[in-house]
Structure 1
Amino acid sequence: MKLYSSEHIFSHPWETVAKAAWRKYPNPINPAVVALDVLDRKVENGVLKTQRLISSSWSLPGWVATLLGTDQTCYVCEFSEVDPSKRTLTLKSRNLTLCNLVSVDERLSYSPHPDDSSRTLLKQEAEITIKGLPLTSYLEGVVVDTMSSKATQVRQSALDWVIGRINNEVHELTVAAERGR
């Protein structure tokens, strides 16, 4: 088992980043995510709790997919909690595809930056476990290195893209409303 953790600061307030995190898929920065389905959603004590199924397309060579006994679509189950009174968004996810060989348990936590409420702090943690394969520790290290090299860049770019999209939508609505007066 290997652990991965990182922190990232967004130059946007929590409300903006939380909205963008909800709408981050699909996006052109991470085109592998092909579908996002809500399985369950409820509000308990003012906290929005949601379970979603994320479907992504892996570009595995056909022989690798056959060897692993999977197709090109992989699935992840995500549980999230939005607590507006505490201003926290927590996302916990676990892969469903190939979980008998590789399990990745990830936790993302978004909250206002403790020193500057106009910014948002993201804490990311992941536990990677590979079972039943040779060179387990090496392979777990490869997964951690891959997460480390891509996570911040992709997450920042994707959320910035979504924030830009939201800002454009607000601008278009404002213009349309002003025309209607």
Structure 2
Amino acid sequence: MKIWTSEHIFCHPWETVAQASWRKYPNPMNPNVVAIDVLERDVKNGILHSRRLLSSKWVFPGWARKILGSERICFAKENSTVDPTNRIMTLFTQNLTFCHLMSIDERLSYTAHPEDPSKTLLTQEAVVTVRGVPLSSYLEGFLTNTISLNASKGRQAMEWVIGKLNAEVHDLTTTAAKNLHVLTSPPTVQASSLPEC
């Protein structure tokens, strides 16, 4: 078993980061995630609970393909909670593919930064366990390194999505201001178009 942990600070408020998390895929930094399907979603006591199915392409090295099989779409389940009152979003993901050989349990938590509420603290943890195959410790190390690389790409993807969100807000604000100006401006009448008495 190998455990990987990480912390990262986003210089954006929690509400923006939580919203970006829902729109993270697809993105150019993580092209391996090919689909996300919402299986269940409800609100209990003001907390949003969601279950999603994630589909992604995993590219294994040649030696791992001999053990695990060929490259294919892999599936994982994600359970998440969003508590807007306490500004906490938690996502827990477990692999469904190859679960008889390995388990990858990943937990992400987005919280308002305790010292600066205009920022968001991301804490991540992954527990990787490989069993019943040769070189299991080596494979655990490979998977842990892959998770670390993907986490870095995931943070870049979040910044990319936040940039898109900010651009959308800017475009909406600009359009609304133009429309408001048109609606509140007095109509102009050209003298030549007035009927003669």
With normalisation by structure 2, the TM-score equals 0.84
Partner Cα separation in structure 2 for residue 103 and residue 68 of structure 1 = 13
CA contact (8 A) 1:110 1:121 kept: yes
Query: Is residue 20 from structure 1 mapped to residue 38 from structure 2 by the alignment?
Result: no
Alignment of 1:9-48 (within 5 A): 9-48=9-48
Partner Cα separation in structure 1 for residue 179 and residue 53 of structure 2 = 40
Distance apart, 1:59 and its partner CA: 3.7
Partner of 1:4: 4
Distance apart, 1:61 and its partner CA: 7.8
Distance apart, 1:69 and its partner CA: 4.6
Change (3 A) 1:140 1:64: closer
Name the SS for the 1:116 alignment partner. Answer: coil
Alignment of 1:12-161 (within 5 A): 12-59=12-59, 68-69=68-69, 72-151=72-151, 153-161=152-160
Partner of 2:165: 166
1:74 partner letter: C
2:154 partner letter: R
Give the structure with higher Rg (CA): 2
Task: Percent identity, please.
Answer: 56
Distance apart, 1:131 and its partner CA: 1.1
Partner Cα separation in structure 2 for residue 109 and residue 22 of structure 1 = 13
CA contact (8 A) 2:112 2:121 kept: yes
Partner of 2:177: 178
CA contact (8 A) 1:3 1:125 kept: yes
More strand as a share of residues: 1
Partner Cα separation in structure 1 for residue 63 and residue 10 of structure 2 = 40
CA contact (8 A) 1:65 1:72 kept: no
Partner of 2:192: none
Distance apart, 1:123 and its partner CA: 0.8
Partner Cα separation in structure 2 for residue 67 and residue 149 of structure 1 = 23
1:115 partner letter: E
CA contact (8 A) 2:49 2:79 kept: yes
In structure 2, stretches of 5+ residues that fail to align are 181-197
- How many residue pairs were aligned? 180
Name the SS for the 2:93 alignment partner. Answer: strand
Partner Cα separation in structure 2 for residue 145 and residue 46 of structure 1 = 37
With normalisation by structure 1, the TM-score equals 0.91
Name the SS for the 2:122 alignment partner. Answer: strand
In structure 1, stretches of 5+ residues that fail to align are none
Hey, which bits of structure 1, 4+ residues long, moved more than 6 A?
Answer: 61-64
CA contact (8 A) 1:60 1:72 kept: no
